[in-house]
Amino acid sequence: MNAIPIALFWLLVIWAAASRRPVALYLFFATMPFGAFAVIPTQLTGGLTFIATPIAAIVVIAKAFLNRQGPSALLSMAIMPNRLLFLFAFWTIATVTTFFMPRLLAGDLLVVPVRGVLRTTAPLAPSTQNLSQWVYMTISVFTVFALARHLRSPDMRQHALQALCLGAAMLIVTGLLDYASQFLPLAPLLQPFRTASYALATEVEVMGSKRVVGLMPEASAFGTYCLGFLCSLYFYRRAITNIALRTRVCPPILIALLLLCWQSKSSAAYVGMGLFLAMACTEWLLRANRPQHTGLIYRQGLLGELSVPIAILTGVTLTLLLKPDLLDPIYAMIDRMVLQKGSSHSYEERGMWRSIALASVFESHGFGIGLGSTRASSSIVAIFSATGILGGVFFCAFIAQSCLRSASSPELRILASGFRFAYIPMFTVSLMIADANFDFVAAFGFGLATALSFQPDRPVRAASSPYFIREPMAAANDVVRTSAQAGSRNARPGITADAVREFHT
């Protein structure tokens, strides 16, 4: 039974590798929800789990750099400070520390092993987790390189946004199937996609109801991916040129992601949802306060977006008048998963992991102890623990550089600001539960932000993309040209260029 989905996946990989169309990009996003699916039997890998998305990412990387200009493009991105030098320097340091520090410091300090008993410490020693974590980190880093090259093209950016919608839809389907499995006999259908060798927490209940995990290893991982797709799709959606996809498909996907994020019952996901709502309100207010002459694209859809929360609040208020205790289960869940989290055993355990990982930075004299050497349950703590002070500084510099990148055209500015708003909730959640390796949704954001600053973008054709409105001066020049032509035909004075410039000034 397990052989059928594995064979199907490898057929898709072969198709993606051989096709000249962006099949690999769609496969990359579509496989993200399958975080517990080992596409190579673990009996053949010595217990290591290779899931689908890294394999699809390798195809994306190969298509970007296995050509005549590929090596030179990779080298130029790696050595140029305004491209990906900081990320490449971080990866270089991570490689050195991972292959040497666990052996040099073996037995000299205590860590919490990634595999094994999670409540006790053990002396540092080399393990297969060092290699597996380095492989995953390498794939993530060079996925950023590949996406930064692919997404320079406006057409490829549109394909990437459509693939993002596909990945979100697949995540919703897997989440709904897992939720329905408590009422219907769907376990045989889901079991072939839960073949990872690490521990899977798929039947956990909180306050009498099941935590939805989809096809991820645990509920927190599922909630994190729901949050990542939710943030990315919400803030990038205005750059989608397909009107039907943007206005009819995206809204129900966003609502379903929000509901599944709630059903994951993950404390980190709840905090991320709160930050997402705060970022959405901030972005709406900034767009609403932009001057109209800077471009209608930034103000488009404001009333429709405002009508949704108003309708929800109105409906909830009217319902509360009839049933005052309607929101009591929601209050109880937030109190249990967020407000009382500090007194839980899980919180204390994760705090112990972080303190030991942070202590390893100083015990290694700031050099780090390598990827996969200890648990941390915090991305920044794990990065500094694994790569030392220098590696952590390079990675933080890369994050800051990605958030500060600017763009030239309206489409690119939407994507650049969208990355900043989308990454804040994802980054905050990663401080609470993630490890040193950033997920592939974040890798997509990093690659997109880098691609936007490569070169001035070619304008999107108006015939294929009526949504994007040109810059004010370009529109003004059209007005001047049209008025001049009309004046020559009708012998009436037209609008002068000086008058238009004075208006916009």
> Is there a single domain that holds both residue 389 and residue 441?
yes
Q: Please check whether residue 225 is in contact with residue 216, taking contact to mean a CB–CB distance below 8 angstroms.
A: yes
> Is there a single domain that holds both residue 436 and residue 489?
no
Query: Is 261 a residue whose pLDDT tops 50?
Result: yes
In the predicted model, what is the mean pLDDT of residues 202-218?
Answer: 87
pLDDT for position 160: 96
What is the reported pTM?
0.86
Per-residue pLDDT of 280-291, as tens digits, reads: 999 988 888 876
> Is there a single domain that holds both residue 478 and residue 422?
no
Out of 90-104, 115-129, 177-191, least confident range: 115-129
Q: Locate 254 and state its tokens.
A: 């966003």
> Is there a single domain that holds both residue 493 and residue 407?
no
Beta partners for 51? 38
Please state the domain count of the chain.
2
pLDDT for position 486: 45
> Is there a single domain that holds both residue 168 and residue 239?
yes
In the predicted model, what is the mean pLDDT of residues 152-174?
Answer: 95
424 belongs to a structural domain: yes
316 belongs to a structural domain: no
Query: Is 293 a residue whose pLDDT tops 80?
Result: no
> Is there a single domain that holds both residue 494 and residue 351?
no
Q: How far apart are CA 470 and CA 455, in angstroms?
A: 18
Instruction: List for the chain the helix, strand, coil content (%; round to 5).
Output: 70, 0, 30
457 belongs to a structural domain: no
Per-residue pLDDT of 37-61, as tens digits, reads: 999 988 887 777 889 999 999 999 9
| 3-state SS class at 206 | strand
323 belongs to a structural domain: no
Q: How far apart are CA 108 and CA 363, in angstroms?
A: 9
325 belongs to a structural domain: no
Q: How far apart are CA 54 and CA 207, in angstroms?
A: 35
> Is there a single domain that holds both residue 480 and residue 439?
no
> Is there a single domain that holds both residue 430 and residue 497?
no
315 belongs to a structural domain: no
Residues 6+ apart with CB under 8 A from 487: 493, 494
pLDDT for position 118: 66
In the predicted model, what is the mean pLDDT of residues 243-253?
Answer: 93
pLDDT for position 298: 63
Q: Locate 240 and state its tokens.
A: 């989608």
> Is there a single domain that holds both residue 14 and residue 104?
yes
Domain range for 479 is 472-504
> Is there a single domain that holds both residue 355 and residue 227?
yes
Query: What would the 3-class secondary structure string for 247-280 be?
Result: HHHHHHHHHHHHHHHHHCCCHHHHHHHHHHHHHH
> Is there a single domain that holds both residue 429 and residue 479?
no
Measured at the alpha carbon of residue 183, what is the angle toward residues 182 and 184, in degrees to the nearest 5? 105
Beta partners for 209? 206
> Is there a single domain that holds both residue 282 and residue 426?
yes
28 belongs to a structural domain: yes
